[in-house]
């Protein structure tokens, strides 16, 4: 079986990639009925699903199938272009998108972090944190992923999805490396900021999983200069200092 989605009305701008192709995207075995793995020999990257980049972008934006959207994030991670990064960043920031798709977009952006494009994917992840979790002055807002009354199920699901998406963003930032295998200073600084300055006081739910992801990300970091992963952390023994101890233990 195959899923073939075609253009009903011409929506592409003239001259845009794929404007002359009346096919939005194509998926083989969309309902996962066959026990098989499709491998496309034209490229060695196993993340690629066999379609051009513009089709992966269309699939990510317009498909209403979560599996199809996640497949599209994997495919876009195999291209590494500015348009692929922009499509993933847009889906990550869209609160209407299911949180598993947003998390997959964050993970794909983490795979695309590269000094070749001046860390464009890392900047996209950092923008998400700044816009979604900071106030107008750039200070981190208190964590509150679940409303205190928890009466609205849609709001409850949205807040939990927000929390899970932030965890995926933290893990993606933690994987950032430059050309020499070091963690970019901007990535390490943002991770330390999330550890030091985020407050869970107004949140009725425990943030242990998020904090664990932050500690793992800082502990696995490789700062330039070979210092401890928590170099620059506050000397007052705060949460960033705890993360530094975890990093030193991991290197020992």
202-250 pLDDT per residue, tens:
666 777 888 888 899 999 999 887 654 544 444 334 444 444 444 444 4
**Contact, 122 vs 184, CB < 8 A?**
yes
Q: What pLDDT is stored for residue 41 in this prediction?
A: 63
Low-confidence ranges of the chain (pLDDT < 70): 1-23, 27-29, 32, 35-47, 49, 137-138, 141-158, 202-204, 226-252
Angle at the Cα of 116 (from 114 to 118), degrees rounded to 5? Answer: 75
Q: According to the model, what pLDDT value does residue 172 have?
A: 95
- What are the b/e assignments for 161-197, b being 16+ CB within 10 Å? bbbbbbbbbbbbbbbbbbeeebbbeebbebbbbbbbe
pLDDT at 204: 67
| Predicted TM-score (pTM) above 0.85 | no
Q: Are 184 and 178 in contact (CB under 8 A)?
A: yes
Residue 103, pLDDT score: 96
| Structure-derived torsion over alpha carbons of residues 108, 113, 114, 117, reported in degrees to the nearest 10 | 90
The pLDDT of residue 233 is 42
Q: Which two tokens stand for residue 174?
A: 């933690």
Nearest to 82 by CA among 123, 115, 120: 120
Contact (Cβ atoms closer than 8 angstroms) between residue 131 and residue 101: no
| CA–CA separation, 144 and 157 (whole Å) | 13
Q: What are phi and psi of 140, to 5 degrees?
A: -65, 135
Q: How far is CA 64 from CA 59, 61, 140, in A?
A: 9, 9, 33
Report the C-alpha gap between 172 and 119 in whole angstroms.
Answer: 13
pLDDT at 151: 52
């Amino acid at each position: 079986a195959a899923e073939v989605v075609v253009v009903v009305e011409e929506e592409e701008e003239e001259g845009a990639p794929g404007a002359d192709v009346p096919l939005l995207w194509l998926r083989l075995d969309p309902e996962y009925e066959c026990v098989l793995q499709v491998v496309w020999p034209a490229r060695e990257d196993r993340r690629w699903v066999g379609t051009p980049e513009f089709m992966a972008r269309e699939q990510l934006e317009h498909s209403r199938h979560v599996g199809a959207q996640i497949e599209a994030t994997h495919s876009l991670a195999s291209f590494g272009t500015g348009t692929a990064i922009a499509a993933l960043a847009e889906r990550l920031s869209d609160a209407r998108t299911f949180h598993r798709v947003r998390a997959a977009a964050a993970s794909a952006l983490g795979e695309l972090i590269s000094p070749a494009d001046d860390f464009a994917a890392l900047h996209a992840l950092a923008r998400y944190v700044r816009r979604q979790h900071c106030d107008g002055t750039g200070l981190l807002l208190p964590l509150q992923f679940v409303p205190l009354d928890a009466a609205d199920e849609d709001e409850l699901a949205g807040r939990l999805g927000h929390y899970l998406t932030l965890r995926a963003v933290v893990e993606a930032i933690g994987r950032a490396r430059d050309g020499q295998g070091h963690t970019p200073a901007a990535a390490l600084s943002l991770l330390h900021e999330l550890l030091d300055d985020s407050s869970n006081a107004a949140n009725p739910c425990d943030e242990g999983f998020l904090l664990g992801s932050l500690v793992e990300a800082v502990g696995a970091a490789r700062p330039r200069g070979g210092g401890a992963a928590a170099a620059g952390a506050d000397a007052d023994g705060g949460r960033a200092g705890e993360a530094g101890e975890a990093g030193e233990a991991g290197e020992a």
